[in-house]
């Protein structure tokens, strides 16, 4: 059954969580969002028709959620696009199920760090498995993959509404989105701030191959002059050694 609950508002920040059959993860993330000390906040939750205890968790948190959609979808980026259609905030933060903000002051600190000409801010993410900051590839390799974490970004909603996620990429649509945003001339700025805490476990071989395929297609499409294949091959070799 499709369920849509919306409390129309206009917020400065929209925080989006997408979920399907992950009650524990949803509770962890929702508590972190609700603990934020920044008041001008809209919380958007898109549920892909969960069939487990997630439905109970959604009922418990429903009164704190400004936009709640429960219906089948075709994957995480379809759900994110659904959120983009409905959110009202000027700035957007996607916080995946199980992920949390670094601390209760994170959104307040992000807003305080904004400059008038900012389009996309990105900071650091804390790996709860290793208890250290997660390391991404160097910034100069932006043409070969993500150099920052999706959940450690803060982006103008107008950019999301213009570009959306390309759902043809089921794994790396975030890399594709930020690549297209860069090509469109939007400004990126790195800030010295830890924005989220998240697990980085997982990574079965099929997903690895899918990520490499997506990265190759995106890299060659937008940066044909760059040695994308060589870079990906060097990463594979480094993992094998």
Kindly report the CATH class assigned to 3-202.
alpha beta
- What's the mean pLDDT in 37-46? 97
Q: Are the C-beta atoms of 73 and 82 separated by less than 8 Å? A: yes
What percent of the chain shows pLDDT beyond 70? 93
Q: What is the chain's percent helix, strand, coil content, to nearest 5? A: 40, 20, 40
The pTM score is: 0.92
SS3 139: helix
Structure confidence at residue 204 (pLDDT): 38
Compute how many other C-beta atoms are within 10 angstroms of the C-beta atom of residue 207.
12
At residue 3 the predicted structure's pLDDT band, cuts being 50, 70 and 90, is low
- What's the mean pLDDT in 180-194? 98
Q: Which of 9-13, 34-38, 44-48, 112-116 has the lowest mean pLDDT?
A: 9-13
Structure confidence at residue 203 (pLDDT): 41
């Amino acid at each position: 059954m499709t369920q849509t609950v919306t409390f129309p508002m206009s917020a400065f920040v929209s925080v989006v969580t997408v979920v399907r059959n992950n009650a524990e993860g949803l509770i962890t993330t929702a508590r972190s969002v609700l603990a934020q000390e920044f008041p001008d906040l809209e919380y958007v939750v898109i549920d892909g028709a969960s069939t487990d205890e997630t439905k109970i968790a959604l009922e418990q948190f429903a009164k704190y959620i400004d936009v709640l959609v429960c219906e089948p979808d075709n994957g995480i980026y379809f759900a994110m696009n659904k959120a983009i259609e409905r959110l009202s905030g000027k700035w957007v933060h996607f916080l995946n199920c199980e992920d949390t903000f670094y601390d209760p002051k994170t959104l307040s600190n992000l807003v305080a760090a904004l400059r008038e000409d900012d389009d996309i801010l990105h900071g650091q993410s804390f790996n709860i498995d290793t208890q250290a900051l997660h390391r991404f590839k160097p910034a100069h390799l932006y043409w070969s993959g993500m150099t920052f974490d999706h959940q450690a970004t803060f982006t103008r909603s107008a950019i999301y509404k213009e570009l959306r996620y390309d759902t043809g990429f089921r794994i790396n649509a975030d890399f594709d989105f930020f690549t297209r945003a860069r090509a469109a001339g939007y400004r990126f700025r790195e800030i010295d701030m830890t924005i989220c805490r998240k697990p980085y476990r997982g990574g079965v071989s099929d997903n690895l191959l899918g990520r490499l395929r997506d990265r190759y297609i995106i890299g060659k499409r937008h940066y044909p002059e760059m040695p994308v294949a060589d870079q990906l091959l060097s990463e594979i070799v480094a993992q094998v050694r």
